[in-house]
Chains A and B, each alone.
Chain A
Amino acid sequence: MAGGGEPDGFRAFVEARSSALLRSGWLLTGDWPSAEDLVQTALAAAWPRWGSLDQAPELYVRKIMVNTFLRWRQRKWNGEIATEKLPETRVYGDAFAQVDSRATLTAALDRLPARQRAVVVLRYFADMTEAQTAQAMGCSLGTVKSHAAKALSRLRDAPGLAELMTGGVAQ
Chain B
Amino acid sequence: MTLEEQRLSDMLHRLTPEPPRTVTVEDVAIHLANQAAPRHSGDGHTAVLRIGKRGRPRLAPAFAAASVIVVVGASTGIAVALTSSQHNAKAPASGGASTSATATTVSSAPGTDDTAPPGSSGTHPRQQPVPIAGSLWGGELIVQQSLDPGTLVGGGNSLYALSNGNLIRVDPAKGQIVERTSVPGTGRPVVDGNEVWVASPSGSGMTLSAFNAATLSPAGTVAVPGSPTQPEGALAVSPGGDLYVAAGSNVAVVDPSSHSVIQHIGISGGGAGSVAITPDGATLYAGVTSGGSFRLEAFNAATGASLGGSAMPDTSNGGYLVATDGGVWGTTGSLMTQRVWFAPGGDLTKLRTVTGGVDGGLDSAPTYVNGAIWIGGIQSLECLDPASGKVRAGSQIPGDRGVPEHFGSVAFVGGHAYTAFQDQHAQQVGVAAVIPPMACFAGGATGS
Contact = CB atoms under 8 A, between A and B. Distances in A.
Contact of B67 (A6, A19, A33, A88): A6
B48 interface: no
A81 B318 CA distance: 9
B93 to A, nearest CB: 26
B64 interface: yes
Given A40-B31, A105-B15, A14 B25 contact: yes
A48 B63 contact: yes
Interface in B343-367: 351-353, 355, 358-359, 361-362
Contacts of B335: 30-31, 79-80, 82, 106
Contacts of B31: 40-41, 43-44
Interface in A41-64: 41, 43-44, 47-48
B312 A87 contact: yes
Contacts of B362: 79-80
Contacts of A5: 63, 66-68, 70-71
B23 A10 contact: no
Interface string B11-29: 1111111111011110111
A4 B361 contact: no
B104 interface: no
B186 interface: yes
B192 to A, nearest CB: 22
A87 B315 contact: yes
Q: Most A CB atoms within 10 A — which of B12, B14, B292?
A: B12
Contact of B22 (A22, A76, A88, A168): A22
Contacts of A170: 14-15, 17
A169 B15 CA distance: 7
B231 to A, nearest CB: 7
A125 B13 contact: yes
B194 interface: no
A100 B10 CA distance: 18
B317 interface: yes
Contacts of A69: none
A77 B22 contact: no
Give the interface centre of B17, B18, B66, B232 by most chain A CB atoms within 10 Å.
B17
Interface string B426-442: 00000000000000000
Contact of B28 (A14, A82, A96): A14
A40 B28 contact: yes
B46 interface: no
Contact of B15 (A22, A102, A127): A102
B319 interface: yes
Interface in A154-171: 155, 159, 161, 164-166, 168-170
Interface stretch (B1-9, B94-102, B117-125): B1-9
A95 B336 CA distance: 12
Interface in A82-130: 82-88, 91-92, 95-96, 99, 101-103, 105-107, 110, 120-121, 123-125, 127
Contacts of B341: 87-88
B28 A32 contact: no
Nearest to A10: B25
B316 interface: yes
B69 interface: yes
A83 B332 contact: yes
A87 B7 CA distance: 29
A127 B13 CA distance: 10
Given A4-B69, A86-B333, A33 B232 contact: no
A83 B8 contact: no
Contacts of A169: 14
Given A5-B63, A92-B358, A80 B9 contact: no
Nearest to B69: A4
Contact of B8 (A32, A96, A103, A124): A124
A68 interface: no
Interface string B220-245: 00000000001110000000000000
A19 B337 contact: no
B422 interface: yes
Interface in A1-55: 3-6, 10-11, 14-15, 18-19, 21-23, 26-27, 30-33, 35-36, 39-41, 43-44, 47-48
A169 B26 CA distance: 35
Interface string B314-348: 11110100000000000111111111010000000
Given A3-B74, A43-B23, A87-B351, A82 B333 contact: yes
11 contacts: A18-B23, A44-B31, A79-B334, A80-B319, A80-B334, A88-B353, A107-B334, A159-B292, A165-B4, A168-B11, A169-B14
Interface of A: 3-6, 10-11, 14-15, 18-19, 21-23, 26-27, 30-33, 35-36, 39-41, 43-44, 47-48, 75-77, 79-88, 91-92, 95-96, 99, 101-103, 105-107, 110, 120-121, 123-125, 127, 148, 152, 155, 159, 161, 164-166, 168-170
Interface of B: 4-5, 7-20, 22-25, 27-29, 31-32, 35, 63-64, 66-71, 74, 165, 186, 201, 230-232, 289, 292, 312-317, 319, 331-339, 341, 351-353, 355, 358-359, 361-362, 406, 422, 424
Given A83-B315, A84-B314, A101-B15, 19 more contacts: A3-B71, A14-B24, A19-B19, A36-B19, A36-B23, A36-B424, A40-B31, A44-B31, A80-B317, A80-B335, A84-B292, A87-B332, A88-B353, A96-B358, A103-B333, A106-B334, A125-B9, A125-B13, A165-B10
